[in-house]
């Protein structure tokens, strides 16, 4: 579960961790994303979206596992940052390849963490 939470958090963070942004802009974007996820929490989630999410989550966990292995071998902070950027890009691509937008994925991830019924439905699909 911890690995899944990290993978979910890593993807959400990927959308808002552009190094060139000032910290207050980054914080505003994160707050806006959190607000969007909370608003989307009450919207219905279709079976198709759950299936797409489960598929993307499997891919993201695989990417995360590979990232952790590579990170352990990283010798410099710069190398670690490059690995993180690469992993985040791969995660975004995995989500988009599943048919979901990153925002939809993050909203379902948020819902999964806060709604045991949605969590069970996703676990049943995996």
pLDDT band at 18 (very low <50, low <70, confident <90, very high): very low
pLDDT at 27: 74
> What pLDDT shows up at residue 25?
67
pLDDT at residue number 90: 93
Indicate if the pLDDT at residue 95 is higher than 60: yes
Share of the chain above pLDDT 70, in %: 71
72 in Cβ contact with 56 (< 8 Å): no
Do 94 and 118 touch, CB atoms closer than 8 A? no
Structure tokens at 80: 């670690």
Residue 37 contacts residue 107 (beta carbons within 8 Å): yes
Q: How confident is the model at residue 16 (pLDDT cuts 50, 70, 90)?
A: very low
Section 95-120 average pLDDT: 91
**CA distance to 4, 23, 27, 112, per residue, from 62 (Å):** 10, 30, 28, 19
DSSP code at position 15 = T
Considering only residues 65 and 8, tell me which one the structure prediction assigns the higher pLDDT: 65
52 pLDDT more than 90? yes
Residue position matching structure tokens 């190398």: 79
Mean pLDDT of 11-27: 56
pLDDT at 36: 66
């Amino acid at each position: 579960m911890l690995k899944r939470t990290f993978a979910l958090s890593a993807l959400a963070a990927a959308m808002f961790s552009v190094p060139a942004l000032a910290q207050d802009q980054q914080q505003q974007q994160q707050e806006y994303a959190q607000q969007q996820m909370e608003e989307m929490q009450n919207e219905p989630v279709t079976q198709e979206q759950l299936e797409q999410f489960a598929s993307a989550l499997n891919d993201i966990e695989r990417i995360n596992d590979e990232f952790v292995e590579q990170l352990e071998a990283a010798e410099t902070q710069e190398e670690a940052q490059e690995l993180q950027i690469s992993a985040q890009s791969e995660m975004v691509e995995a989500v988009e390849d599943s048919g979901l937008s990153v925002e939809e994925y993050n909203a379902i991830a948020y819902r999964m963490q806060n709604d045991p019924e949605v969590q069970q439905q996703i676990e049943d699909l995996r």
